[in-house]
Amino acid sequence: MPNHDGSTKEPSAEEEAKLERFKERLALEKRIGERMGRVGHKILIASGKGGVGKTTAAVNLALGLAEAGDSVALLDADIHGPGVPLMLGLAGARPTGTEEGINPVAYDDNLVVMSMAFLLAGDSDAVIWRGPLKMAMVDNFLADINWGDRDWFVVDTPPGTGDEILSLAQRIKDVDGLIMITTPQEAALASARKSLTFAVKTNIPILGVVENMGPVACPACGHEMKLFGEGGGPRVAAEFGVPFLGSVPFDPEAVPESDRGQPLLLTDRDSPAAAAWREIVARLREVVAQREASRSEEA
């Protein structure tokens, strides 16, 4: 470091440490950019609160995209409560490592998955981490996993507006947007509004709202039953001026099937819920295509 008399001064240990951290951050951002540069559309699946079926949505959306022949990566970014492997029948799976990084776990030819659950010794292991460690793991998921060339990158984020979703939105520079999952229940809708406001304030694009656990036909008489309320998803979407992607009817088989690692979209292909997820996937494609066209026109 030059002094006023032209001589140089050796940097202190603290200055060298700061410089090294800066170099490491630049290298990390470069790796993330390279990994994400090979991925097409990046989608964050979010919810205002737990228990609304966010992970179910992430799994079925990823499967729906893969079912159509697209190459999909699914990242389970819920560090404390990773549930994607269980729902896909991948509990106990382990990723493999190479000199280029870590390979995600393959579900089939079109879908690969990465989750904190793959790194834990057992299902009952708890991750007791503060924010900085969680953010470091999110960075590692983005920078050090061999995602390869993918058409879609679907991220199951933790519920609420915590550090993880903000970090993901900041690290993935060209994220397409966020899909908000809610139920018709007023408590869920109130939380969804908070999360949508968070997205607006942090400049995260909103692709739309999905209503889970919607009205279902009574198996005995065919009468439509509104177990959790009526019209909450469309109402919230209208309030924020974003697309309503669709409503998925409540299905009592969804939970036991998911617990057995058998996603509804594949095990009960003809059910109303499976049909709803496919319609939502089709609507998502339309919304993304429309936004791409608008950006091209603006350019």
Interval 49-68 mean pLDDT: 94
Instruction: Mean pLDDT check: name the lowest of 3-12, 18-27, 104-113, 147-156.
Output: 3-12
Length of the chain counted residue by residue: 299
pLDDT at 132: 87
| pLDDT tens for each residue of 98-122 | 888 999 999 999 999 999 999 998 7
Judged by average pLDDT, the poorest of 189-193, 219-223, 268-272 is 219-223
Q: What span, in angstroms and rounded, lies between the C-alpha atoms of 294 and 299?
A: 9
Torsion of CA 43, 47, 50, 53, to 10 degrees: -60
**Averaging pLDDT over each range in 101-110, 249-258, 289-298, which range is the top one?**
101-110
DSSP symbols for the chain: -B-TTS-B-PPPHHHHHHHHHHHHHHHHHHHHHHHHTTEEEEEEEEESSTTSSHHHHHHHHHHHHHHTT--EEEEE--SSS--HHHHTT-TT---EEETTEEEPEESSSSEEEEEGGGGSSSTT------HHHHHHHHHHHHHHB---SEEEEEEEPPSSS-HHHHHHHHHSTT--EEEEEE-SSHHHHHHHHHHHHHHHHTT--EEEEEEEEE-EE-TTT--EE-TT-SSHHHHHHHHHT--EEEEEE--TTHHHHHHTT--HHHHSTTSHHHHHHHHHHHHHHHHHHHHHHHHHHH-
β-strands 177-182, 111-115 pairing = unpaired
Model pTM score: 0.90
For residue 102, with 0-12 CB atoms within 10 Å meaning exposed, 13-18 middle and 19 or more buried, which class applies?
middle
Q: Over the chain, what is the mean pLDDT?
A: 89
Return the CATH number of 38-298, one of 3.40.718.10, 3.30.450.40, 3.40.50.620, 3.40.50.300: 3.40.50.300
Position 295 confidence tier, pLDDT thresholds 50, 70, 90: confident
- Per-residue pLDDT at 2: 54
Please tell me the predicted confidence (pLDDT) of residue 252. 72
* 209 and 183 Cβ atoms separated by less than 8 Å: no
Domain boundaries, the chain: 38-298
Residues 6+ away with beta carbon under 8 Å from 189 = 182, 183, 232, 235, 236
pLDDT at 12: 87
CB 55 within 8 A of CB 83: yes
Query: If you average pLDDT over residues 9-34, what whole number do you get?
Result: 88
